Amino acid sequence: MAELEYNAEGIDGEEDGQEREWLPSRDNVVFLIDAQAAMFEEAGLKDTPGFAESDRWFDVAVKVAKEFIKSHIISSDNDRIGVVFYGATETGNQNNFDHVYTVVTLDEPSAQSIRDLENMMGDDFEDKVGSAAEGSPDHLRNGLWAASQLINTGSSRANKRLLIFTRDENPAGTGPKAESYRERIAARAQPLHEANVTVEIFPLTRPGDTFSMTFWNHIIHAGNDEESGVLYEEGSDTMYRLQSLPGFTRQKAYRKRASGRARFLFPGGYKMAVSMYSLVQPATKSSPVFLNALNNEPLKVESAFIDQDTGAVLTEVPKRIFPKFSDPNLYKRIPPIILTSEELRSIRITQDPGLSLLGFKPASCLKPWHTWRQSNFVYPDERTMPGSTTAFIALHEAMLSQERVAICTYVRSRNAEPRLVALMAAQEVKDEYGEQLSPPGMHMLHLCFADDIRTPEVDKNLVGEFFPEPSAGQVREAEKLVEKLTMEDSYVGMYENPLLQRHYQVLEALALAETPPDVEDSLKPDHEWMLSTANDELESFRNSVYGANHNEPGIGKKSASTPKKRPAPEDDPALKDALAQHDYKALAASGKLGKLKVDDLKPYLRAHGLKVTGKKDELIERITEHIDSQP
């Protein structure tokens, strides 16, 4: 096996003398939308989220393109997106192909692109562009030609996609020249495949309707998309695929790049290389950018260490570190320890970076509460160490067949502490349409050390001495309530963050000069649904726990509490003596309350029931206001 030198400083570092694999840095996406007569029939998608009852199929395609551009402004603003109509009356493209109209040239997503698409919806399209009076195979042929010219402009190092939206099952027709037309159209699609363009067809049909792919199979690699391995067959649910496109949820997208790379060490010196990916990442707002008030250029902040004697910029600054103790009292007993960065680094390094196998345990031993953070997805890194894929697959299959998990130590970098992890093998899962739901590989679960485990449930200082046991009837009523309020259709990922959604909607509205719409908070409890669904179960559970005439804590009217009477100064000798030491009225009149200490001010506040917390100036102000309010 080839030797692996783990690069702890850069996760994408390459071995010396090894050719770096090219990875696309952005996407070039072109929407090719059919503008012929069949596209202007009513879609009837009133029950489909994101679409209106009056939408035509053409409007559906334009809406998808518009939402796609909106989402990429937030998630991937360096991608380039274009929109082309074929089968239009007007001709408007850089190569003057007949009946082809480019409404959005291939460029970075912008608010102007969204406005241009909105101006093409409804009756505005007929006034500005129009649909060709007669259908012709040349419409699609010219559209593919124009899309090929458009998608290949700019950098060739891009992931290129062509998305075709149509209702026409057979643009070549059924006449005697149908085969000739089909070959001519396929000839225009060939340069797209030679340029590594992924061609996808979105047949616009209602759910349940079928769409013959016989003709379109010649356009998209004989029915098989080689890039994703998805087979498009008759009857595919187009609405599912349309809503799978980005744009229906405003969120930041992250590229599928490795979050870390490591060597996987086995006993006896065997090793392989793996890459790690983050499947779950908290979504946050983008950081604000400070602009120059004169030219709106982003401001760059630079910092440097300056020699206080000469004013010269220091290129290297020696650092010394003083480790702090969590207990302040240790400062008195332990003298300061000064360490250099190198000394501290040598102390921290206990193992070399990477995964080290400890052994295997039955998968049933691993419980959900054994992990303390989200898992990472582990996949073989063949280009760093040839042969890693073969070794990884063999280990993956063995763990699946014997239902075992691998227990390892994991050190992310040279300065990181070792962690205990478990590798769980996972099989590939696909849905009924062939779309991959989860890839094959291993999940790295971060386990707890003995030092990390806490047991608050047995701490008497937290839970008290007495643990009430519920009766069998109370448990039975609770089970009925849980069963009645179980959300069958709920799944991970269906809830959006209302704060982020509002943030992005406001940004969109400001860019488009619109009024921000209201955001529906999907996390707000639906009390009306709960009461209508399980009102009897709720009442039975309350009665079983609190009794028929219950008054639960925090529910209903609170019993009136008797206010505590403030003790008079004569009832507290210490307070009486403290008040007698100073003439507060005279000091306030002469403005000399500030000469008193805080402890001298508080007796007056306590004696008159005033707040005693705050800074000294606040206490003086409080005393002065009280004295002024007295007759």
Cα–Cα distance list, 157 to 21, 23, 24, 25, 147 (Å): 12, 8, 6, 7, 17
Calpha distance 205→461 (Å, rounded): 64
Residue-level pLDDT at 232: 42
- Say which CATH topology domain 569-629 has: 1.10.720
Inform me whether the pLDDT recorded for 191 exceeds 70. Answer: yes
Better pLDDT: 560 or 536: 536
Most confident of 98-107, 210-219, 318-327, 564-573: 98-107
The CATH class, in words, for 256-284+301-453 is: mainly beta
If you average pLDDT over residues 374-398, what whole number do you get? 92
Average pLDDT over residues 183-206: 86
pLDDT of 392 strictly over 90: yes
Other C-beta atoms closer than 10 Å to the C-beta of 544 total 19
**pTM, to two decimals:** 0.56
Domain 27-244 has CATH 3.40.50.410: yes
Going by pLDDT thresholds of 50, 70 and 90, the confidence category of residue 358 is: very high
**pLDDT for 154:** 64
For the chain, give the percent of residues with pLDDT over 90: 18
Report the chain's mean pLDDT, rounded to a whole number: 79
Q: What are the tokens at 266?
A: 């086995």
What's residue 331's pLDDT?
Answer: 63
CA distances from 215 to 35, 135, 136, 181, 197 (A): 19, 16, 15, 11, 19
Say which range, 9-13, 19-23, 185-189, 534-538, has the weakest mean pLDDT.
Answer: 9-13
Contact between 263 and 354 under an 8 Å Cβ cutoff? The reply is yes
Question: How confident is the model over 581-620, as pLDDT tens digits?
Answer: 888 888 888 888 888 888 888 888 888 888 888 888 888 8
Distance CA 534, CA 527 (A): 10
Q: In Å, what is the CA distance from 49 to each residue of 46, 52, 240, 337, 433?
A: 8, 8, 11, 63, 20
pLDDT at residue 553, rounded to an integer = 53
Structure confidence by residue, pLDDT tens digits, 32-88: 999 998 898 888 777 776 777 778 889 889 988 988 888 887 777 778 899 999 999
User: What was the pLDDT predicted at 187?
Assistant: 86
Domain ranges across the chain: 27-244, 256-284+301-453, 472-485+496-546, 569-629
Give the contacts of 272 (CB within 8 A, at least 6 positions apart): 1, 263, 264, 380, 385, 387, 388, 391, 392
| Mean of pLDDT values over 148-157 | 78
- pLDDT digits over 269-286, tens only? 899 999 998 887 777 887
What is the spatial distance between Cα 409 and Cα 449, in angstroms, rounded to a whole number? 11
CATH topology match: 27-244 vs 472-485+496-546: no
For 599-623, the DSSP string reads HHHHHHHHHTT----S-HHHHHHHH
**Is pLDDT of 557 > 60?**
no
DSSP symbol at 285: P
Position 460 scores a pLDDT of: 75
What pLDDT is recorded for position 9?
A: 35
- 14: confidence class by pLDDT, cuts 50, 70, 90: very low
Report the pLDDT value the prediction gives residue 422, as an integer from 0 to 100. 96
CATH of range 472-485+496-546; options 1.10.1600.10, 3.30.2350.10, 3.40.50.2300, 3.50.50.60: 1.10.1600.10
